[in-house]
Amino acid sequence: MTDQSVASELELVGNPATVRIDSPITRVAKEFVEDRIAIAGLILIVAIAFVAIAAPWIAPQDPYDLAQLSILDGGLPPGAESMTGQTYWLGTDQQGRDMLSGIMYGLRISLLVAAVSLGLAITIGVVVGVAAAYFGGKLDSFIMRIVDLQLSFPAILIALILLALLGRGVDKVILALVIVQWAYYARTVRSSAIVERRKDYIDAARCLALSHRRIMFRHLLPNCVPPLIVVATVQIAQAIALEATLSFLGVGVPITEPSLGLLIANGYDYLLSGRYWVSLFPGIALVLTIVAINVVGDRLRDVLNPRLST
């Protein structure tokens, strides 16, 4: 072939150096910011995450240092001043604990539990799901029947049984959440991987004799990521809510490391006797967190799914 014909073909295609084609990530980011509510949600998530991480440095009080608490400040309404002149913007609980600080520390536990369980569940789910789709056959049937079995029980039921057996503790709640959630990721990854598995580039990779592990995690997995991101955002909101539920019911985190759910449970007895703030403010924090994550998740689903965009 002559150089000229190559050159003419190149002109038709466009030179990659001059024609800027956005990478997939840039495209998704551009589409994402078109929705104001989603941006608000994202800002809220970032703010909440910041508060949770920085709680020990920005909270007015360490709510679990008994030396800082005064029982005389117990049950103060929002905006009241303590005897030392400190203002409790969100009131105090019956032990004289500043609710604002309590919520900041509570968020910390809630998000920690959700994030760690998300990471572990995704790792397990992805490995199992990709392996099932790639190898197929009996392994696939075996794994997917376990997934079916698990998904046929309500998540809260499995978590309750597990925690009843294991006892309380942050690590145990995380374990329960991982066991409840891995199956969602496994099913999501497997369903998209099984579509990708049939495409020629996987056959091509096998023709090159790349290792199974390499084909699974470098070729198959990256093509299955978009639906995984969507499921992960929905599931992290679920994880936060589930942890709050378990803690509210008294089987979750221990009383020494209270999460939002436990704070809500603490004020539950006083809810109808005038001290609404003890339950209300942690409740609002929980709702805001979950709504923000869901809003962002919805938007991500829209921009990652080409069939929904017009």
Partner 1 sequence: MTALLDVRDLHTHFFTRDGVAKAVDGISFSLQRGEILGLVGESGSGKSVTGFSILGLVDAPGRVVSGQVLFDGEDVVTAGEGTLRHLRGKRIAMIFQDPMMTLNPVLRIDTQMIEAVQAHEKVSRKEALARAREALVAVGISSPDERLESYPHQFSGGMRQRVAIAIALLHKPDLIIADEPTTALDVTIQAQILAEVQKLCADSGTALIWITHDLAVVSGLADRLAVMYAGRIIEEGTTAEVIGRPLHPYTKGLIGSVPQGKRHGTTLTQIRGMTPPLLDLPKGCKFRPRCPRADDQCLTEPPLGPVAGGRRVRCVHPHLEDQEDAVLS
Distance CA(147)–CA(153), nearest Å, equals 10
Positions that interact with partner 1 (CB under 8 A): 1, 3, 5-7, 9-10, 12-17, 19, 21, 23-24, 136-137, 199-201, 203-211, 214, 218-219, 222-223
Closest approach of partner 1 to the CB of residue 200, in Å? 4
**Burial category of 225 from C-beta neighbours within 10 Å (exposed 0-12, middle 13-18, buried 19 and up):** middle
Eight-class DSSP state of 72: G
- Length of the chain, in residues: 310
Closer residue to partner 1, CB minimum distance, 40 or 204: 204
Based on CB atoms, which residue is closest to partner 1, 129 or 283? 129
In angstroms, the CA 167 to CA 56 distance is 28
Q: Specify whether the CB–CB gap between 265 and 179 falls below 8 A.
A: no
DSSP states of 245-286: HHHHTTSSS-TTS--HHHHHHHHHTTTTTT-THHHHHHHHHH
Q: In this structure, are residues 93 and 267 in contact, taking their beta carbons and an 8 Å threshold?
A: yes
Shortest spacing between CB 288 and partner 1, in angstroms:
35
Backbone region of residue 20 per phi and psi (left: phi > 0; alpha: psi in -120 to 50; beta: other values): beta
Cα separation, 60 vs 243, whole angstroms: 26
Instruction: State whether residue 110 is helix, strand or coil.
Output: helix
- Least distance between partner 1 and beta carbon 150 (Å): 27
Nearer to partner 1, 18 or 84 (CB): 18
Of 1 and 72, the one with the shorter C-beta distance to partner 1 is 1
C-beta of 5 vs 152, nearer to partner 1 = 5
Whole-number minimum distance, CB 14 to partner 1, in Å?
8
Q: How far is the CB of 207 from partner 1 (least distance, A)?
A: 4
Alpha helices in 14-71 (DSSP H): 24-32, 36-58
Residue with Cβ nearer partner 1 (145 or 218): 218
Residue 15 Cβ vs partner 1, minimum distance, rounded to whole Å: 7
